[in-house]
Chains A and B, each alone.
Chain A
Amino acid sequence: MDVTTIDRRRLILSIGAAAGGGLALGYGFFTPGEAAAAASGAIGDYVVVAPDGAVILLAKSPEIGQGVKTLLPMIIAEEMDADWSRVRIEFAPVDAKYGDQSVGGSTTTPENYEPMRKVGAAARAVLVQAAAERWGVPAASLKTARGEVIDPASGRRLGYGELAAAAAKLPPPEPAKLVLKSPKDFTLLGTDQVGVDTPAVVHGEPIFGIDTELPGLEYAVYVKSPVPGAKLVSADLDAVRRQPGVTQVFALDGLAPPAGQQVGLAPGYAPGVAIIARNWWLANEARKVLNARWDESIGAGHSTDVYDAQAREILKGSGKVVSQHGDVDASLAGASKRVQAVYHAPFLAHLSLEPQNCTARPTADGGVELFAPTQVATDTRELTAKTLNLPLDKVVVHIRRSGGGFGRRLMADAPVEAAVIAMKAQKPVKLVWAREDDVAHDYYRPALWIALDAGLDAKGHVSAYRSHGVSFTRDGTKPTTGGGVFQDAVPGLLAGSARTEQSLMPTIIPTGWLRAPASNALSFVHEGFWDELAHAAGQDPIAFRLAHMRARIAAEAENSEEGEPKLKISRLAPVLELVAQRSGWANRQSLPHGVGMGVGCYFSHRGYFAEVAQVRVSQDGDWRVEKVWVVGDVGSIILNPLGARAQVAGSVVEGISHLRCAVEFKDGCTVPTNFPDFDLSRMPDAPQIDIHFLITDHPPTGLGEPALPPVIPAVVNAVYAASGARVRELPLTADRIKAALKTT
């Protein structure tokens, strides 16, 4: 029989696994009488083996293009010695037994590597045990390879498919007794493997959230105020109702989240008007006659130019001290050279290519079923249950592939809206945001402003490093989501003395995590200023960094409590040294006129990256990144090199988009509306990229983010090298470069 047609929810009737960080191996048995039970074997919560030897592995975490739907099952397959060419992958159901089914912060690899290995090793152990019992030989005498158990003494072999039914009935092995492979014996991990959905993608199969199809499905838009959270004053619902194809129109009051919290991260949803129609275009057309008026008064004054003026005023004073070492004031006073600058990184939007959407269907038991392209399947389920006041078991979430995430889908706002609308309409509804909705209702990377003041001693060493950052707050005390993390970055950490101060301005603009949150702005600021310090000291920017790092490495050796995932300069310096070699940094003076190299290095999300960018700048200030050299240390093994290189290349291209974009606000409303308002990287903007991984003796970590932060300062520093223009504000426009040329 074909296992692929079996309903997953019935097949995987298993008992807890991977809950709470530790691994309890669950075992799945078929309920008596099920046809599937007779013919195939579910081994634990993740593995199903069909009688013909085909294997289904469940991917527990959402796929947003970062490759974990391929990678997590690869880890299982490696330890169980499955034949990868006969493995099919499906998303796991959203269930507490799979732990937190979310993806963000490049945590999927570090948090799941060992647990998934144990899942695979456990499956292998019971398959071997089943063979041992069949043959009457000790399990320890048997081997496995490519989906078979082998008895080396007799040469006998049994395929996993022939053993599955017996193996599925065996008690689970004790996790402590599992024997994991030595990584040197890996045959699958460490090899290039094509993404498991790639064949479906190239044939246009409907695998994305937005492609969900259900019987009787109708299509919705949800019209909200341009000012976040503003209430509806009036709207012409009747006019909308008369539009062709419209089946239902209703206004929703919304549900405010607890004070100081944001919809999407806490129970609640925004007020708005739902328009449901026979197809999505008709629903979206009908909004043209809605004529909605909102009470937008809460937005007054929340404009980017107002924020900018406020921030620069605040930077004249001092902020709350969040970390310090040494006597910065004394060192600044005694410095032989002072360097001061103000940097600014603007608000940014996520702009995943698949707009926010979710399909929801009321269920017969009074609950709701969601088909969600999300990064947070577990939270989506919980927030939906809390918002609708339903018990958790009445909310079923199916993970659908996401057309990009970049942190946007860490917010469950669209899925919760879809659930609320479907429940009110009492029919299956696909909610799709127009691109204009997606731009207007993002959780933006918060802008920040940082004033820096550093002192160099007589030897050109940074003796003092003061940074004062201004970002936003929602509740008056804590920084708003995705911002205000003014942690010690490299220059401060390496300086003789340092002080980090923070000031927060109130905002109503929704903010969130954008790929490499905080680091994507802080790298620009600190690594740009570091470059300024090197030039002020009259030194090569890489040699200058390395000289400062060496002293710190000695201190780290004595001070060993700085463990993972904390920054270790002893891992940052080698990637910097290597990128200098690979890029031909020492010969950069021979580059043609108008072309320069710049460097950035950064630690984020447990990964260490150093990057050199070669940039051409024209007389008019137009710039193009010609080549980027990347060296990264993400541990002892690159689990899927093909996917790993894609993540790094994508990070570089996205870093260049960060350099080119900004989001403006006017009285709480987002000014840009659609893609033409963003100068996103296109194919002609993509540089040549040289990628190298430095293999080190550390556990493997994730690659969704850490390669992104360094490219931003590398490009800005290269523009300086190429043209002499020191740009301290993004986006990096030709006008800014020309203006900087006049003042530097």
Chain B
Amino acid sequence: MAITLRVNGRGLTAEVPPEMPLLWVLRDELGLKGTKFGCGVGACGACTVHIDGEATRACRTPVGTIGAREITTIEGLHAHPNGQALQAAWVAHDVPQCGYCQAGQMMTAAALLKDKAKPTREEIEGAMAGNLCRCGCYDRIQAAIGSAAGVEA
């Protein structure tokens, strides 16, 4: 079945079953591999994307349920209102170790900053708790979100 998605401002079509998770449509059918597979069960946040601005687990989102809503992936983060500030902060703090979780971390952080321009330390912790980093970059994620938002983290 041909499904057309709005991804990072473009219309993209894939010939896939509607129950196929967005994660695998992005990665294997549309060639957007920045969104990562960690668990497939919504438990790690590596696959986080935005659907109409809301942080969403792509591994748990059947592609047939999305319709005309706008999908933003890490490849489109730079166009998000907070995207470039987050990317710059991530580089300045050298947040990544292996880097595998970071697409999901940054997408969650961008959605947080859209809702709350100046989050507190606890609000950052609460928003980011679903994103696993096996390398333990949490202190730098916290600091980078703080600098992108212009608050003391």
Contact B38 A202 (CB under 8 A): no
Chain B, 124-152, contact with A by CB distance < 8 Å: what is the 0/1 string?
11101111111111111110000000000
Give chain A interface residues in 273-313, CB to chain B under 8 Å: 279-282
Instruction: Tell me which of B86, B131, B138 contacts A686 (CB under 8 A).
Output: B138
Assess whether A194 is interfacial by the CB under 8 Å rule.
Answer: yes
- Do the beta carbons of B97 and A66 come within 8 Å of each other? yes
A676 close to chain B: CB less than 8 A = yes
Closest to A352 in B: B134
- Secondary structure class of chain B's binding surface, majority of residues: loop
Contacts A65-B98, A213-B31 given; does A204 touch B73 at CB 8 Å: yes
Measured in the bound complex, the distance between the Cα atoms of B133 and A352 in whole Å is 9
User: Can you list 11 pairs linking A and B with CB atoms under 8 Å apart?
Assistant: A192-B94, A201-B103, A203-B78, A208-B36, A281-B28, A354-B36, A354-B98, A646-B94, A683-B128, A684-B125, A684-B126
Binds B, one of A175-183, A338-346, A358-366, A649-657: A649-657
Question: Contacts A198-B96, A219-B28 known; A682 to B129 CB distance under 8 Å?
Answer: yes
Complex formed: what's the CA distance from A396 to B24 in Å? 28
B77 contacts chain A at the CB level, 8 A cutoff: yes
Q: Are A198 and B91 in contact (CB under 8 A)?
A: yes
A251 on the B face (CB < 8 A)? no
Bound form: Cα–Cα A352–B31 in Å: 23
B-facing mask of A584-618, CB < 8 A → 1, else 0?
A: 00000000000000000000000000000000000
> Known: A201-B102, A202-B91, A353-B100. Contact between A404 and B134, CB under 8 A?
yes
Assess A675 versus B141: contact at CB under 8 Å? Given A198-B99, A201-B102, A684-B129.
no
Given contacts A204-B73, A213-B33, A279-B28, contact A65 B97 (CB under 8 A): yes
Q: In the bound complex, do residue B21 and residue A683 qualify as a contact, i.e. CB atoms below 8 Å apart? A: no
Q: How far is the CA of A684 from the CA of B21 in the complex (A)?
A: 29
Tell me the minimal C-beta distance from B74 to chain A in angstroms.
Answer: 3
B97 and A646 form a contact (CB under 8 A): yes
The 9 residue pairs across chains A and B that have the minimum distance between CB atoms: A204-B34, A403-B100, A653-B136, A65-B98, A204-B74, A279-B28, A650-B136, A281-B24, A201-B99
Whether, in the assembled complex, A329 has its beta carbon less than 8 Å from a beta carbon of chain B, the answer is: no
Contact A194 B91 (CB under 8 A): yes
Say yes or no: B33 contacts A404, CB within 8 Å: no
Chain A residue numbers with a CB within 8 Å of B139 are 649, 686, 688-689
A residues contacting B by CB (< 8 A) are: 63-67, 192, 194-195, 197-199, 201-208, 210-211, 213, 219, 244, 279-282, 351-355, 401-406, 432, 434-435, 642-643, 646-647, 649-654, 674-676, 680-684, 686, 688-689
Q: What is the count of residue pairs linking A and B with beta-carbon distances less than 8 angstroms?
A: 187
Q: Is the CB of A199 within 8 A of B75?
A: no
Taken together as a complex, chains A and B put the C-alpha atoms of A206 and B73 apart, in Å, by 13
Say whether B68 faces chain A, with CB atoms less than 8 Å apart.
Answer: no
| Count of residues in B whose CB is under 8 Å from the partner chain | 62
B36 with A683: CB separation less than 8 A: no
Expressed in whole angstroms, the minimum distance between the Cβ of B144 and any Cβ of chain A is 10
Q: Which residues in A have their C-beta under 8 angstroms from that of B32?
A: 204
CB B14 to nearest CB in A, in angstroms, measures 9
Q: In the complex, A201→B140 CA distance in Å?
A: 15
B46 within 8 Å of A by Cβ?
yes
- Asked if B41 is at the interface (CB within 8 A of a chain A CB), the reply is yes
Contacting residues, chain A, for B103 (C-beta < 8 A): 201, 204
With A201-B102, A211-B33: A675-B125 Cβ-Cβ less than 8 Å: no
Q: With A204-B75, A280-B24, A649-B136 known to touch, is A355 a contact of B38 (CB < 8 Å)?
A: yes
* Cα A735 to Cα B77 with chains together (Å): 43
- Interface presence of B111 (CB below 8 A): no
Q: Are A402 and B98 in contact (CB under 8 A)?
A: yes
A682's nearest neighbour on chain B, judged by CB, is B129
Chain A residues positioned under 8 Å from B27 (CB to CB):
280
Question: Which residue of chain B is the closest to A643 with respect to CB atoms?
Answer: B94
Contact at B24–A198, with CB atoms within 8 Å? Answer: no
- Kindly report which residue of chain B lies nearest to residue A209, judged by CB atoms: B100
- In angstroms, Cα B36 to Cα A351, docked, is 15
Contact residue among A65, A203, A642 (Cβ-Cβ distance under 8 Å from B34):
A203
- Complex: chain B residue closest to A435, CB-CB: B39
Q: Is the beta-carbon distance between B134 and A646 smaller than 8 angstroms?
A: no
B43 lies within 8 A of chain A by Cβ:
yes
Considering the chains assembled together, what is the distance between the CA atoms of A688 and B143 in angstroms?
A: 12
Nearest chain A CB to B5 CB, angstrom units: 15
Question: Closest chain A residue to B28 by CB distance?
Answer: A279
CA distance A210 to B90 in the complex (A): 22
Cβ-closest chain B residue relative to A656: B136
Nearest A residue to B19, CB-CB: A285
**Can you name the residue of chain B whose Cβ is closest to the Cβ of A206?**
B33
Q: How far is the CA of A85 from the CA of B99 in the complex (A)?
A: 21
Interface contact A202-B90, CB-CB below 8 Å:
yes
User: Which of B35, B36, B43, B136 is within 8 Å of A652, CB to CB?
Assistant: B136
Q: Given contacts A281-B28, A652-B136, are A404 and B74 in contact (CB under 8 A)?
A: no
B83-112 to A contact mask, C-beta < 8 Å, 1/0: 000110011101111111111001000000
Partner of A651, one of B21, B86, B136: B136
Q: Across the interface, which residues of B come within 8 angstroms of A405, CB to CB?
A: 98
Contact A353 B98 (CB under 8 A): yes
B58 CB to closest chain A CB, in angstroms?
A: 11
Chain A residues with Cβ below 8 Å from B124 are 683
Q: Please name all residues of chain A whose beta carbon is closer than 8 Å to the beta carbon of B140 when the two chains form the complex.
A: 646, 649
